Structure 1
Amino acid sequence: MLGFGGRPALAEARLVPAQRATVEALAGADPVSPEDYLPPRWLRNAHLQSILSSSDLRRRRGLRRLQALGAVSTEHIFDGGAGVRLQGWHTVIPGMEVRGLALLLHGWEGSAESSYMRMTAASLLEAGYEVVRLNFRDHGNTHHLNEDIFHSCLLPEVLHAAIDVAEKFPQRPLVAAGYSLGGNFALRLALRAPEIGLPLKHVAAVCPVLDPHAALMGMERGLPLYHWYFQRKWRHSLELKRELFPERHVYDDETLSLSVRELTRWMVENETDFGTLENYLEGYSVAGARLANMTVPANILMAQDDPVIPFADFANWQLPATARLEVARWGGHCGFIENAHCDGFGERWVTDRLTRG
């Protein structure tokens, strides 16, 4: 059991001051609105927002918030089914009055320690929720847990792990939130939850990958920085996988130097049963009417200036009555930074939506 900053666990049950203030504020305030997100002019650049969203400055800010709360995190290995193991971190403020349990899902090549995961965890803890930050396969320091590599259609193992989370921490209302690819997973989790018996009450998705075809094209045609960033991180992940399982993964450095599109194509043809890149991308799309049968309430936050997920894709999105799309004018990709301290509207919005039920 690890405390952020080495703070000891508290023996007596109590309502921590930060939790009390947040709960009282939520109870008496109107819901936060994307229309209220008005960053200072110097923060209205989409690329700056997107870069700051995953910066070390913001990651440290998230860590300091957790340390200030006296949050304690415990590692768990959750059952993904068929022998799959997924790491997660259960975080709680010792002695807090627990209102529920929140499952947080990160974006592609992010992790449980990504800035938005830490910041959202801190906000939810203040609101009285225990938090599980789940690492997808091959994210964080988990490449050794499973032999096969990660891809975005591995929803079954995330569903199975979510059930394990609910069983390990029973008698708590379960909610979930995700960012980018994690938002995509959260929505697919909500779609499938009733049929698999997952007691999921509500989900929130921030800048979710809607149409993977368009997202890939947007990465290629946008600022080269984004393609370079994801290509570099994915290549490093695959290098680690090769070092750990050299007999299973025999791809060469030339393969790893391919563009994101061509490396994805190689992965699909050599590591999956989808056959073609197009079939694979369709496999995790939530565009069009794919969420029409979703009954779990869902809130979705999108920024008009998102440079990674094309906002135009959302215009014709067919959502069920249980889902609501909310749009901010600014925010970039999973940014929504509000000030020089790198506090974010995104984590406030997620907390507000999930805790209001």
Structure 2
Amino acid sequence: MTLPQGRDFRPHWPLTSGHIQTMLSSSGVRRKLLPRRAYKVLEGAETVMVDGGEGIRLTGAYTAQTSLPAARGLAVLFHGWEGSVDSTYVLQTGSRLLEDGWNIFRLNFRDHGESHALNEALFHSCRIDEVVHALGDIAHRWPAPAMALAGFSLGGNFALRAALQAPQQGIPLAYTLAVCPIIDPGEGLFSLEESAPWFYQAYFMNKWRHSLRAKQAAFPQREYFELQELKQNLRGLTEALVLRHTDFGSLQAYLDGYSVAGHALAAMQIPATILTARDDPVIPVDAFEKLQLPRNIELDIATYGGHCGFIRGWDMTSFCDDYIAARFNAIASGAA
């Protein structure tokens, strides 16, 4: 079987612009232009609560396939920072895999997808243990011939770290795929502040502040932040919350806590793919080129695609859907 490669993605102008790809990826315009089949995963979806361990509860959505007599497997999808199970890219990928006969589980991280009232402590990117525990709960409750995981941006970072832990935790994860994952958080933070256009930081900060206000409203007895802190930039607010709500002691220690840079993925036991784009304006490509990866991890750097875009044309469908589906189906065939 010949699998699609990043070099196969060759969009026409102006979709050769990484900025246009990135801006369209999560835009309302895209949601309106996508064909109805991109939302198929919403039909019959069951909203569920999963166990994150130690009393932690995470929300998600499960959709059973009806295309085949028996499912190929279970596909678990992780959204990006301040995204949710209903983010456009999650719905589109889930719908594509559903057509191919996969059962779909879309997981919300803590404080995402309007789940702020479920757990009192704030979300942060080093909360990998609860995500791994939830992944184990999902595998137990919805067993399947094969289990595959895909994540986007920060969700891609979580997917890689979860895959590192899965074998030791007895989770039958067969494969993981990360699209434009955060590799070196420190470098990514610098990039958003110093080299990316101002509107990227403004977009993320607006969504983050809205989320923090929702958290404060859910637990009015707690003081999660001071108003002055909320007015700071990305670096300043991140540092204030790290020092206030974690035991890391410094911003750099926190950023190092969820880095997968250098040889951090050397112990990966299952097959994995990292797909990114050289023109991604959010995650610098240098971080990917410096990775020291074992042979079972495929690194695929496309020329175009922006940050989690890979939009093929004005129907707003994504090259990622076929890319992920082809690899998931190959894993399912191997498991069978």
SS in 2 for 1:144: coil
Q: Give, in whole Å, the separation in 2 of the partners of 1:147 and 1:69.
A: 30
Cα distance in 2, alignment partners of residues 193 and 63 from structure 1: 35
Instruction: Report the alpha carbon displacement of residue 95 of structure 1 after superposing the two structures with TM.
Output: 6.2
From 95, 120, 125, the counterpart of 1:152: 125
> Does structure 1 residue 85 correspond to structure 2 residue 50?
no
Distance change >3 Å, CA 70–CA 293, structure 1 → 2: closer
Tell me whether 1:30 sits opposite 2:2 in the alignment: yes
- Say if 2:219 is the partner of 1:236: no
Selected match of 2:44 from 63, 66, 72: 72
> How far apart in 2 are the matches of 1:119 and 1:227?
25
Q: Partners of 2:58 and 2:325 in 1: how far apart?
A: 25
Give the aligned CA root-mean-square deviation in angstroms: 1.5
Name the structure 2 match of 1:310: 284
Match of 2:83 among 96, 110, 123: 110
Distance (whole Å) between structure 1 residues aligned to residue 133 and residue 230 of structure 2: 31
Cα shift at 1:250: 4.7
Gapped runs of 5+ residues in structure 2? 332-336
Match of 2:16 among 25, 44, 49: 44
Q: Distance in 1 between matches of 2:282 and 2:53?
A: 32
| Aligned residue-pair number | 329
| Change over 3 Å in CA distance of 1:72–1:300 after alignment to 2 | same
**Aligned: 1:256 with 2:256:** no
Q: Distance in 2 between matches of 1:256 and 1:69?
A: 36
Candidates 143, 167, 176, aligned match of 1:194: 167
TM-score (norm 1): 0.89
Following the alignment from structure 2 to structure 1, what is the Cα–Cα distance between the partners of residues 129 and 298? 25
- Counterpart CA distance in 2 for 1:37 and 1:95 is 28
Number of the residue aligned with 2:134: 161
Q: Distance in 1 between matches of 2:89 and 2:32?
A: 11
Q: Distance in 2 between matches of 1:339 and 1:70?
A: 23
Question: Between the two proteins, what is the percent identity of the paired residues?
Answer: 45
User: Shift in Å at residue 257 of structure 1?
Assistant: 1.0
Q: Secondary structure at the match of 2:138?
A: helix
1:55 aligns with 2:27: yes
Deviations 1:37-74 (A, max 9, x none): 11011111111100111112333456822555783200
Deviation at 1:92, TM superposition (A): 2.3
1:38 aligns to what SS in structure 2?
coil
TM-score between the two structures when normalised by the length of structure 2:
0.95
- The 1:250–1:204 alpha-carbon spacing in structure 2 relative to 1, beyond 3 Å, is closer
SS in 2 for 1:75: strand
In structure 2, the partner of 1:142 is 115
The alpha-carbon deviation at position 253 of structure 1 amounts to 2.0
Structure 2: distance between partners of 1:36 and 1:309: 21
TM superposition shift of 1:322: 0.9
The answer to whether the 8 A contact 1:62-1:118 is kept is no
CA distance in 1, matches of 2:293, 2:103: 29
1:104-148 CA deviation, whole Å, 9 max, x = no partner? 001001111111100100111111101101000011111111111
Aligned partner (choices 168, 175, 179) of residue 148 of structure 2:
175
Q: Distance in 2 between matches of 1:87 and 1:63?
A: 27
Opposite residue 89 of structure 1, the aligned amino acid is A
The answer to whether the 8 Å contact 1:106/1:180 transfers is yes
Indicate if the aligned counterparts of 2:85 and 2:106 stay in contact, CA closer than 8 A: yes
Shift of residue 94, structure 1, vs aligned partner = 3.8
Instruction: State the alpha-carbon separation in 2 of the partners of residues 30 and 43 from structure 1.
Output: 25
Deviations 1:74-94 (A, max 9, x none): 011000001110001001234
Task: Assess if the C-alpha contact under 8 Å between 2:34 and 2:316 holds in 1.
Answer: no
Question: Residue 17 of structure 1 corresponds to which residue in structure 2?
Answer: none
- Return 247-256 or 105-114, whichever deviates more: 247-256
Of residues 203, 208, 211, the one that matches 2:184 is 211
State the secondary structure of the residue aligned to 1:107.
coil
CA contact (8 A) 1:190 1:203 kept: yes
